[in-house]
Amino acid sequence: MTVSTAYTLDDMKAGAEIAVNICMAVQPGERVLILGDEASTLISQALANAASAIAAQVETFTLESFGQRPITTMPDNLQAVLERFQPHVSFYTASSRPGELKFRLDYRPAVMRANPDGARHGHMINITPPLMTQGMRVDYQRIFDVTMRVHKIVRRAAEIRVTNPKGTDFTATFNPHRKWIPCHGLYHEPGTWGNLPEGETFTSPENANGVLVVDELGDYFSERYGILNTPVTFVVEDGWVRAVRCQDTALEKDVQSYIFGAENADRVGEFAIGTNIALTGLVGNLLQDEKFPGVHVAFGDPYGKQTGADWKSDHHIDVIPTQCTIDVDARRIMVDGKFVVGIVDL
């Protein structure tokens, strides 16, 4: 997926200031660490500029400075940086590479506990200039309000059914002892984090059955394929993927290799509802598109430390069906991709 190089620091300024001032609420005297890669230098610089106007110290690094990519485990020299700098706020702006998911899963808790009081973390995997001018330039108080309304409805749900015109008919059931996490975009307390741009609530389901026909895939598939030319169909039985089908046979094999390529990678790990009502359509980047109003499901790691699920995986791939209709315990909250009145005040 090619990203235009015509963007400037000025184009990034407003989105960076919202990320720093509104989403992460950087305060005078705080230390801010930004870890990106060579491809995200412009965005890292914009965040650094915004943070430098407030914070006591700002340090910016690229992944490439810590070793050859893909980086699959936490480098000792990066761990040393965290222990020395002890950030109050961190941002991760690097692109995804095959094999790096385990590193990212290790890095986030490492950077958040580097400060004895707990850091706040803005995870911006695969962030691009277009996303900085779209999903990051929204009214996050409104996103907060919608997210919390949806969260209040689903946090006690026993069953949620999702359908769409392309053939999706998928039902997930939920364990009351697992947590629904509201990702509203306002991370002002130590130990909190989110994937910016924001707007979703998620959990790990107890069980799931049915068919998902999806138009976008996560992890490195997002950057490689963007919005899919040919949908991918997943058949799920008792919480596990039993079949992956696609008319594009090369893509089908690529997905099958990922799904069946690691322990628990074919297990339903996440169920989420996107709540960023400011977004007008998919753009081909999962970081933003999973926040688009609708549903996304992930196979693989269930984010157990947050949700309470008692298993894990080295893989995690989100999948997005579009034009969703959502029924929560027989209460309809979305029709054809639009929240009903009461969740969004029209």
Residue 210 has pLDDT above 80, yes or no: yes
Tell me the per-residue pLDDT of 319-331, one tens digit each, with 9 for 90 and over: 999 999 999 998 9
Confidence at 3, pLDDT banded by 50, 70, 90: very low
Omega prior to 98 cis, within 30 of 0:
no
The pLDDT of residue 2: 43
The pLDDT of residue 342: 83
> Which H/E stretch holds residue 17?
helix 9-17
Say what the pTM is. Answer: 0.88
Tokens 């200039």: give the residue.
129
Residue 184 has pLDDT above 70, yes or no: yes
Tell me the per-residue pLDDT of 243-257, one tens digit each, with 9 for 90 and over: 999 999 999 999 999
The pLDDT of residue 7: 95
Confidence at 341, pLDDT banded by 50, 70, 90: confident
CA distance 231 to 339: 24
261-285: burial string, b at 16+ Cβ within 10 Å, e else: ebebbbbbbbbbbbbbbbbeebbbb
Q: Sort residue 178 into left (φ over 0), alpha (ψ -120 to 50) or beta.
A: beta
Architecture of the 9-133 domain: 3-Layer(aba) Sandwich (3.40)
Instruction: Please give the C-alpha separations between residue 45 and each of 8, 59, 116, 229, in angstroms, as whole numbers.
Output: 11, 10, 27, 34
CA distance 317 to 325: 22
Confidence at 55, pLDDT banded by 50, 70, 90: very high
Tell me the per-residue pLDDT of 131-149, one tens digit each, with 9 for 90 and over: 999 999 999 999 999 999 9
Mean pLDDT, the chain, integer: 95
Residue 120 has pLDDT above 90, yes or no: yes
Tell me the per-residue pLDDT of 261-316, one tens digit each, with 9 for 90 and over: 999 999 999 999 999 999 999 999 998 999 999 999 999 999 999 999 999 999 99
Give the residue-averaged pLDDT of 54-78. 97
Confidence at 109, pLDDT banded by 50, 70, 90: very high
The pLDDT of residue 223: 85
Residues of CATH 3.40.1830.10 domain(s) within the chain? 9-133
Give the residue-averaged pLDDT of 214-232. 95
The pLDDT of residue 247: 98
Residue 93 has pLDDT above 80, yes or no: yes
Give the residue-averaged pLDDT of 191-212. 97
Confidence at 4, pLDDT banded by 50, 70, 90: very low
Concatenating the DSSP letter of every residue in 296-322 gives EEEEE---HHHH--S---S-EEEEE--
Residue 346 has pLDDT above 50, yes or no: no
Say if CB 337 and CB 276 are below 8 A apart: no
Cβ neighbours of residue 330 closer than 8 Å, sequence gap 6 or more: none
The pLDDT of residue 5: 59
